[in-house]
């Protein structure tokens, strides 16, 4: 399979930008990373799990007892490694990063999902410092971590479905992409001087003027 590196890097930059926007919008909320590997290790099962998990979260938040509460999320399906080497058949797993004030709805949905799917393993990590950058979930999209084999696996095995999903942000994804490209092209020196995780903040502050 032929990979256009420039195109893949551009898409990866966009993915990180979308995550950073979501992170900034919810930076003062509690944060937790849930990782799940299923027993059958099939991507189709992970896509199904992701759809049901997010659907159940949305359904639960309509309950009267959770009225007014919001949970933001970013999900990403990753491929594992076998003896240090990437292998498209080995250990696909999913990460959910949640931004929340109340963990109880997430806990309830997790228990429900565990009854419907065969878990090989699962793990939850909470951010100790709310102001700290919690970007492990998008590590495969950082340009410093670019891996040709991984990019091939994403394209070949993704079944034309997005490996990552995100809840809504203050600014829509397509607008973020347009603004990022505008600043990169027309204000290159200023844009380059701003750290990646602060660029969304810069955009919001300038839009408010």
Q: Say yes or no to pLDDT of 73 above 90.
A: yes
pLDDT at 172 over 90: no
- Co-location of 138 and 40 in the same domain: yes
Rounded-to-integer distance, Cα 26 and Cα 99, Å: 6
User: Per-residue confidence at 208, pLDDT binned at 50, 70, 90?
Assistant: very low
Do 116 and 148 have their domain in common?
A: yes
State which residues form the domain around 207: 171-209
Instruction: Indicate left, alpha or beta for 115 from its phi (over 0: left) and psi (-120 to 50: alpha).
Output: alpha
Number of domains in the chain: 2
The domain that contains 135 carries what CATH number? Answer: 3.30.70.260
Burial of 59 (0-12, 13-18, 19+ CB in 10 A): exposed
Burial 112-145 (b: 16+ CB within 10 A, else e): ebeeebeeeebeeeebeeeeeebbebbebbeeee
pTM: 0.82
In this predicted structure, the answer to whether residue 67 has a pLDDT above a threshold of 80 is yes
Q: Are residues 154 and 53 in the same domain?
A: yes
pLDDT, average across residues 123-151: 88
**What tens digit of pLDDT does each residue of 117-135 get?**
999 999 999 988 877 888 9
Q: Are residues 121 and 132 in the same domain?
A: yes
């Amino acid at each position: 399979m032929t990979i256009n590196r420039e195109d893949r890097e551009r898409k990866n930059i966009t993915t990180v930008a979308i995550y950073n926007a979501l992170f900034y919008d919810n930076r003062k909320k509690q944060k937790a990373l849930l990782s799940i590997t299923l027993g059958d290790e099939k991507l189709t099962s992970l896509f199904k799990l992701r759809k049901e998990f997010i659907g159940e979260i949305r359904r639960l938040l309509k309950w009267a007892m959770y009225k007014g509460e919001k949970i933001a999320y970013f999900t990403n399906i990753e491929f594992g490694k076998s003896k240090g080497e990437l292998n498209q058949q080995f250990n696909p797993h999913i990460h959910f990063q949640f931004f929340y004030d109340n963990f109880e709805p997430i806990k309830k949905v997790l228990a429900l999902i565990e009854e419907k799917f065969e878990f090989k393993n699962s793990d939850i990590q909470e951010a100790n410092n709310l102001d700290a950058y919690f970007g492990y979930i998008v590590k495969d999209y950082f340009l410093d971590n670019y891996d040709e084999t991984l990019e091939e696996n994403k394209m070949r095995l993704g079944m034309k479905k997005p490996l990552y999903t995100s809840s809504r942000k203050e600014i829509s994804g397509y607008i973020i992409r347009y603004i990022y490209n505008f600043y990169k092209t027309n204000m290159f020196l200023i844009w380059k001087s701003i750290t990646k995780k602060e660029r969304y903040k810069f955009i919001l502050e300038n839009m408010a003027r």
